[in-house]
Structure 1
Amino acid sequence: MFSFLGTVIVEGLHIKFPGSIVGLILLFGCLYFKLIPVSLIKDGAGFLLSVLTLFFVPATVGVMNYPELLSFHGLLLIISVVISTIFTIIISGRVGQYLENKIALKEEE
Structure 2
Amino acid sequence: MKLFKQFTIIIFLSFLGEVLHTLIPFPIPASIYGIMLLFFLLERNVLRIDDVREVSDFLIFIMPLLFIPSAVGLIDVLDELRASLTAYVIIIISVTLIVMVVTGRITQWFLRNQNEKET
The reply to whether TM is greater than 0.5 is yes
**Structure with larger RCO (C-alpha < 8 A, sep 6+):** 2
The size of the alignment, in residue pairs, is 97
Residue 75 of structure 2 is aligned to residue 57 of structure 1: no
Which residue is 1:2 aligned to? Answer: 13
Structure 1 alignment gaps of length 5 or more? 103-109
Counterpart residue type for residue 25 of structure 2: I
Counterpart residue type for residue 26 of structure 1: L
Counterpart residue type for residue 43 of structure 1: E
TM-score between the two structures when normalised by the length of structure 2: 0.59
Which residue is 2:35 aligned to? Answer: 24
In structure 1, C-alpha distance between the alignment counterparts of 2:31 and 2:72, rounded to whole Å: 24
User: Residue 85 of structure 2: which of 74, 85, 89 is its match?
Assistant: 74
Residue 15 of structure 2 is aligned to residue 15 of structure 1: no
Structure 1 position 85, deviation (Å): 6.1
Between 1:48-57 and 1:72-81, the stretch displaced more is 72-81
Distance change (3 Å), C-alpha of 1:47 and 1:85: farther
Give the RMSD, CA atoms, in angstroms. 3.1
Counterpart residue type for residue 85 of structure 2: G
In structure 1, C-alpha distance between the alignment counterparts of 2:20 and 2:82, rounded to whole Å: 42
TM-score between the two structures when normalised by the length of structure 1: 0.64
Structure 1 position 33, deviation (Å): 1.3
Counterpart residue type for residue 65 of structure 1: D
Structure 1 position 83, deviation (Å): 6.0
- Give CA deviations for 1:64-104 in whole Å, capped at 9, x if unaligned: 12233232122333454466667778969xx7xx9xxx9xx
